[in-house]
Structure 1
Amino acid sequence: MKEKQLVEIAELQKGCEQGTFSLKLNWETLRSRVGKAGEDFFHYEGNTLIGYLAIYDFGGKIELCGMVHPDYRRQGICTKLVEKALLTAKKRDSRAILLNAPAESQSAKGFLATLPCRFDVAEYQMKWQETELTDYEGVTLRPSKEADKALEIQLDVDCFGLLQHEAASYYERIKKERLNTFVIVYEDQVVGKIRVEERDGEAWIYGFAVAPAFQGKGIGKKVLKQVILEQQKKGNPIYLEVEATNPAALKLYESCGFRSYHQQDYYLYNGS
């Protein structure tokens, strides 16, 4: 992908969303792909980008998210993009291929109804609302080191259901993309991890996990409050994502002031 194409994708996204829903394009990942090829699919009319689809590999599962400008829909453009992306996705060692669509997008749901897929899970995008925060001491965060590799991989196995080789591959990808991972230290032990990405005046929280043996001690809440306070000092609005099937995480986030503002729906591809 070229730097120029990032600008084109952003412009197309604005034209597609039009303030009615939010596409999940994983911008921190897209920026890391500049100069690389094979995971982004484009459709131009003249010199104008009017269709785009991306593949995202999240260790064990592949997600597809795409868009076509409203003025060019129902012309088979999205179908062609999906067909090309599926050819690439099927060659990879993944347990599932998921197609992502904003819950509010009727055009996306109509298109997905034409494909061999079924609804799998909903994901809430949440934004922090001003809330008084106390009792956040007792844990510390530090940047991830090479010595933390084994634990970080095991956290993805224990907390996110990845297989060992999937978690190892995902770890290497995160490091290669230079995404900001911090480990959580409690009583001189590394007990978890969290990723905080600051882009365009916003902060996003990803990959937040506490080892099962240390859950239920209030560690996650203290860490979350610390991250919120740090980003609040910088003036950054704070966002995160959580699956609807994870009520414990949802309860934690809501207790710290996060509120859902968008829903992303995922459909499991079951074609051959």
Structure 2
Amino acid sequence: MAQMQMLTFEQKKDLTRVDHDSIRELELLCCSGDQITLKLEIDFKLTDVELKVPEDRGSDVDEFLCYDEGHLIGYIGICSFDGLIDPPELTGMVHPDHRRKKIFSHLHRLVMEECKRRNFKTVLLLCDRNSSSGRAFLERVGAVYSYSEYEMHYQGGALEDPIEHQKDISLRRTSNVEEEAKLGMEIWIPEKDGMIVGGVHLHLKDGVGSIYGLSVSPENRGKGYGRPILRKAIDILREAEAQDILLQVDTKNWIAHNLYKSCGFVETSVMDYFTLENTNTLE
């Protein structure tokens, strides 16, 4: 208890640039030490804050931080983007030198209290499959496995296919600036002969390009449009000088998974999603 009293816990609705950089530093330390990945979405959160005027930011608390003498040693974030994600996604970490001090348990309790205040009946807890400490915590709180996603990174090659060039798919960026600001990414519309055939969202930050929500409309599936859409998305990010390109895909979605592999993406990690009822708390 004495150790806990020496720590400072903060709850914030928004991240500042200083917060972002401190969390990123802690993330790199934890990921390199544990050989895991974390899906914190702090780039999206900071972009969301910077693009919105103060009166549009809302009052919900999403950021929970723990400091030891001014140094960030623990963090959990709620990812709901003004209720667009429900149930919300929770991810966090504690400095390797400060584990087994119930820091994460205390942060988790604060987060669950906030989720209860916002009437979230369930939450999704994210955990890299290789995180032994994370999986032990999930077992303690009674979280139930839901599904998994591969994170895949583009390694190059496997793109040239003259047949796919004949699909004549073009990507047009949407003019809906407000929607892009809300999502924190660029919205691109794939078209064939002037008709919309799907959608894809792109994000670029610090040289890392991300591809989200790549889809082909139901009436156009089975026509081979997925590959040229993906290819053109990669081209857009590379032209924007992305040094790394990544995407996530449900491990059960073998059609998309095989498409991504055939276009030069390789699996680098597995993120497991667990459901937790909001009646569960740690004693």
TM range (shorter): 0.7 to 0.9
Give the drift of 1:102. Answer: 0.9
Once the two structures are superposed, residues 187-222 of structure 1 have per-residue CA deviations (whole angstroms, 9 ceiling, x without a partner) of 211121111111111211011122111111111111
Q: Greater CA radius of gyration, 1 or 2?
A: 2
Q: Percent identity?
A: 29
The equivalent position to 2:26 in structure 1, one of 12, 20, 25, is 12
Distance apart, 1:86 and its partner CA: 1.5
What CA distance in whole angstroms lies between the structure 2 residues aligned with 1:94 and 1:243?
24
Looking at structure 1, the residues matched to 203 and 112 of structure 2 have their Cα atoms a distance apart, in angstroms, of 29
Report the TM-score, using the length of structure 2 for normalisation: 0.80
- Does 2:72 match 1:49? yes
Match of 2:190 in 1: 184
Give a deviation string over 1:136-179, Cα, whole Å, max 9, x none: 45111111234xx9xxxxxxxxxxxxxxxxxxxxx95x532542
Distance change in 2, residues 1:130/1:178 (3 Å): closer
The alignment yields a C-alpha RMSD, in angstroms, of 2.2
- The alignment of Structure 1 onto Structure 2 pairs a total of residues equal to 248
Pair 1:45–1:120, CA change in 2 (3 A): same
Q: Deviation above 6 Å: which 4+ runs of structure 1? A: none
Q: Which residue of 1 aligns with 2:207?
A: 201
Aligned counterparts of 1:141 and 1:262: Cα–Cα separation in 2:
29
SS of alignment partner, residue 66 of structure 1: strand
Could you tell me which residue of structure 2 aligns to residue 145 of structure 1?
A: 175
Q: TM-score, normalised by structure 1?
A: 0.84
Tell me the equivalent position of 2:5.
none
Within 2, Cα distance between the matches of 1:235 and 1:181? Answer: 17
Contact in 2 for aligned 1:98/1:268 (Cα 8 Å): yes
Which residue number in structure 2 is paired with residue 268 of structure 1?
275
C-alpha distance in structure 2 between counterparts of 1:139 and 1:94, whole Å: 41
Judge conservation of contact 2:121–2:278 (CA < 8 Å) in 1: no
Letter in 1 for 2:27: Q
Stretches of structure 2 that go unaligned for 5 or more consecutive residues are: 1-14, 51-56
Residues 86-112 of structure 1: CA deviation (Å, up to 9, x unaligned) = 222234465741100111111111111
1:156 is aligned to none
